[in-house]
Chains A and B, each alone.
Chain A
């Protein structure tokens, strides 16, 4: 059974940093691209960042480029999102997401971890 366990969210002040983690199990982690998708309270979904199975290719939404860094450790089956220079508009539930082969559609999601940026 595929499982994605998101963690690392919390309350942080504007300008602060946070690192999210996503522990994966139930599939060959290194074979699949992964993404982070966020959802601000009461709002829609926003794709944040994606990484290839090997980790050699990364992509970012313009809203986070230069502030967030996605990475993965295939020996630990874990996905990360390092978030720096956080802003109030980054407040959201962050979901770890597994992409299907041959496409960017997401077939499995983590339970989400809440990041609140506030003073």
Chain B
């Protein structure tokens, strides 16, 4: 199975900060990568698919980049609603696998 490694595990930031989360795959997944946001007690929400495509209705401050094995999720200006846990997911080959998550906390 393809392993997905996210960093950092926890990130402390302030409103207005630019935030970057990285995800590395154990082998090339081309651009078959998605990013999700999850808040406590809720189901995840799709933010980005195919590495850089913004899901409909998601604010433009979220962006994704990368291909092959290295990917990045960027929040250009952190808003109060963005404090949550973020997961990457590869869907290049079964089994789909998720990163371990990055919790974005208030600094």
Interface residues of A (CB under 8 A from B): 35, 44-47, 50, 59-62, 95, 100, 103-107, 109-112
Assess the B94–A50 pair: CB atoms within 8 A: yes
In the complex, A44→B102 CA distance in Å? Answer: 10
Interface residues of B (CB under 8 A from A): 1, 32, 34, 36, 38, 43-46, 49-50, 55, 87, 89, 91, 94-101
B62 to chain A minimum Cβ distance, whole angstroms, is 14
How many residue pairs link A and B with beta carbons under 8 A? The number is 59
Assess the B43–A61 pair: CB atoms within 8 A: no
Known: A45-B87, A104-B96; 7 extra A-B contacts, CB below 8 A, are A44-B87, A45-B89, A47-B98, A103-B49, A107-B55, A109-B45, A111-B43
A115 to chain B minimum Cβ distance, whole angstroms, is 16
B20 to chain A minimum Cβ distance, whole angstroms, is 20
Assess the A104–B44 pair: CB atoms within 8 A: no
Assess the B44–A109 pair: CB atoms within 8 A: yes
Assess the B34–A59 pair: CB atoms within 8 A: no
Given the interface contacts A44-B101, A95-B43, does A105 sit within 8 Å of B94 by beta carbon?
Answer: no
By a CB distance below 8 angstroms, the chain A residues around B36 are 45, 106
In the complex, A92→B84 CA distance in Å? Answer: 20
User: Can you list 8 A-B pairs with a CB-CB distance of less than 8 A?
Assistant: A45-B101, A47-B96, A103-B50, A104-B34, A104-B91, A105-B89, A106-B44, A106-B89
